[in-house]
């Protein structure tokens, strides 16, 4: 395998241009460009560049390319979809929902005005959702030429950036839910990832789970590798692979029975590890030769820092694991790796920061009073880290080895989606609006 220099150049260009092409931005890092403000006020309009009402209900994040912002949603044919946020353990699905219109929106990045709208498909949802979930959870992805929008059981749709449908693919019913109670359907959540000319899809579901690669130009399936795991809800990551003196790319996925790396070109397994939380949600992240994977549900809540040259079954090759924290993992939030530190915020708002190279705990701090849930993942830019709870309350922190709170802000709406950052502007999807937060020129 040879690492494609064109891919490296393209990734660097995307970051330099301020594009935010997928869930958590360039390479899924959560790191944006420019310096967004630390403070804003929706009521007074302070640092609110625009806010645009988004119909329906969705937890997908905005993605950005050039002067366009893309977002998905599901709009019920009648009534208003309800969302139940907070810290609770109800596993039951939402029942009796009407037909949905599964939509893709394109907005002008500067004004927030709609440029185009497409209904990918419509009809009764093929599976139910959790009360805290939606029928539009996966974040779309773009390579600057095409946009892929995934609605789970409703299908994968590829558009050009002017909204022309290029191709679509039906994967059948993707039944995500609690593996011990199959009737508890929770809604599909894994987002597509584009790397070079390849779309990666992870579908860990109740039956016939798989990882697959498609040609982004045509939707043709390049390979499909079966997986044997419980339903998972994280997005795959494309990370460097350096085993045996060779350099290339691997697709890294979270799991319970099978955390692992797969060859990007062939789908062949490279390494695997079993264990952890039995409802894996966070996306793998990587920095400085380490892939960091975490989960927290049931009896397991580990953090694993795995070397990018890992190979084989890591139960027999523990040297491939740089460090582990056995009881410190995240349930829903994907961690942030920035400046040599790893930031892990639990769903109850307890933030723990580790030295990435060694696993040394640097500090732990509760954000807020412990009554609100935290689902969206942290993002950072301009020497500021943004962490937002489900009630729309944002904590702005300074990165570093010690806790330093810079500001707190209210959105005035629920906030479940992970924000995007581009060119010094913070884009936060609330329960009713998409907000652009930046310093006015």
CA distance 381 to 34: 6
Mean pLDDT value across the chain: 95
- Max distance between CA atoms of the chain, in angstroms, equals 59
Give pLDDT, residue 7: 42
Give pLDDT, residue 5: 40
| 3 state SS of 153 | helix
Average pLDDT score over residue span 235-253? 92
Confidence band for 441, pLDDT divided at 50, 70 and 90: confident
Structurally, the chain folds into a number of domains equal to 1
Give the global pTM. Answer: 0.95
Of the candidates 136, 57, 128, the residue with the CA atom closest to the CA atom of residue 94 = 128
CA distance 316 to 70: 44
Confidence band for 247, pLDDT divided at 50, 70 and 90: confident
Residues 294-322: pLDDT tens digits? 999 999 999 999 999 999 999 998 999 99
Residue for token pair 């059948």: 172
The kind and range of the H/E element at 11 are: helix 5-16
CA distance 429 to 153: 23
CA distance 38 to 341: 21
Rg (CA), the chain: 20
Average pLDDT score over residue span 71-77? 98
Average pLDDT score over residue span 255-268? 97
Give pLDDT, residue 15: 53
Query: Which structural domain range is residue 58 located in?
Result: 5-437
Residues 197-216: pLDDT tens digits? 999 999 999 999 999 999 99
Provide the b/e sequence for 374-413 (b: ≥16 CB within 10 Å).
bbbbbbbbeebbbbbbbbbbbbbbebbeeeeeeeebebbb
Fill in the DSSP letter of residue 310. -
By the 8 A CB rule, do 26 and 15 touch? Answer: yes
Confidence band for 246, pLDDT divided at 50, 70 and 90: confident
CA distance 215 to 255: 25
Give pLDDT, residue 244: 77
Give pLDDT, residue 2: 39
Give pLDDT, residue 6: 41
Fill in the DSSP letter of residue 234. P
| 3 state SS of 15 | helix
Q: State the sign of the Cα–Cα–Cα–Cα dihedral 150, 151, 153, 155.
A: negative
Residue 90 has pLDDT above 70, yes or no: yes
Partners of residue 100 on adjacent β-strands: 76, 123
CATH assignment of the domain containing 431: 2.130.10.10
Provide the b/e sequence for 101-111 (b: ≥16 CB within 10 Å).
bbbbbbbebee
């Amino acid at each position: 395998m040879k690492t494609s220099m064109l891919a490296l150049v393209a990734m660097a260009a995307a970051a330099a241009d301020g594009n935010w092409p997928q869930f958590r931005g360039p390479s899924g890092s959560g790191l944006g460009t420019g310096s967004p403000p630390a403070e804003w006020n929706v009521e007074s309009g302070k640092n609110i560049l625009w806010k645009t009402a988004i119909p329906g209900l969705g937890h997908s994040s905005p993605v950005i390319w050039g002067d366009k912002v893309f977002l998905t949603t599901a709009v019920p044919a009648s009534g208003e979809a309800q969302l139940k946020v907070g810290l609770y353990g109800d596993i039951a699905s939402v029942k009796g929902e009407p037909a949905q219109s599964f939509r893709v929106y394109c907005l002008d990045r500067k004004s927030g005005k709609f440029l185009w709208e497409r209904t990918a498909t419509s009809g009764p949802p093929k599976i139910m959702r959790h009360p805290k979930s939606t029928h539009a959870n996966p974040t779309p992805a773009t390579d600057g030429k095409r946009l892929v929008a995934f609605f789970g059981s409703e299908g994968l749709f590829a558009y050009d950036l002017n909204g022309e449908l290029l191709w679509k693919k039906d994967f059948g019913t993707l039944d995500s839910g609690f593996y011990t109670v199959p009737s508890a359907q929770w809604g599909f959540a894994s987002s597509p990832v584009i790397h070079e000319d390849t779309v990666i899809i992870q579908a860990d579901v109740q039956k016939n789970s798989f990882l697959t690669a498609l040609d982004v130009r045509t939707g043709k399936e390049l390979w499909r590798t079966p997986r044997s795991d419980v339903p998972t809800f994280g997005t795959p990551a494309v990370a460097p692979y350096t085993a045996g003196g060779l350099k290339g790319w691997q697709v890294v996925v979270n799991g319970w029975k099978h955390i692992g790396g797969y060859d990007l070109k062939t789908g062949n397994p490279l390494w695997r590890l079993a264990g952890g939380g039995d409802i894996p949600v966070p996306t793998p992240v990587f920095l400085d030769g380490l892939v960091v994977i975490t989960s927290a549900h049931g009896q397991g809540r580990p953090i694993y820092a795995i070397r990018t040259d890992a190979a084989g079954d890591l139960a027999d090759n523990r040297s491939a694991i740089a460090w582990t924290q056995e009881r410190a993992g995240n349930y829903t939030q994907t961690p942030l790796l920035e400046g040599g530190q790893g930031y892990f915020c639990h769903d109850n708002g307890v933030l723990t920061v580790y030295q990435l190279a060694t696993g040394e705990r640097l500090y732990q701090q509760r954000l807020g009073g412990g009554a609100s849930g935290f689902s969206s993942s942290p993002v950072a830019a301009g020497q500021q880290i943004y962490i937002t709870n489900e009630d729309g309350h944002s904590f702005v922190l300074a990165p570093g080895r010690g806790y330093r709170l810079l500001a707190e802000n209210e959105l005035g709406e629920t906030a479940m989606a992970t924000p995007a950052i581009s060119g010094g502007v913070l884009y936060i999807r609330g329960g009713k609006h998409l907000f652009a937060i930046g310093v006015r020129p």
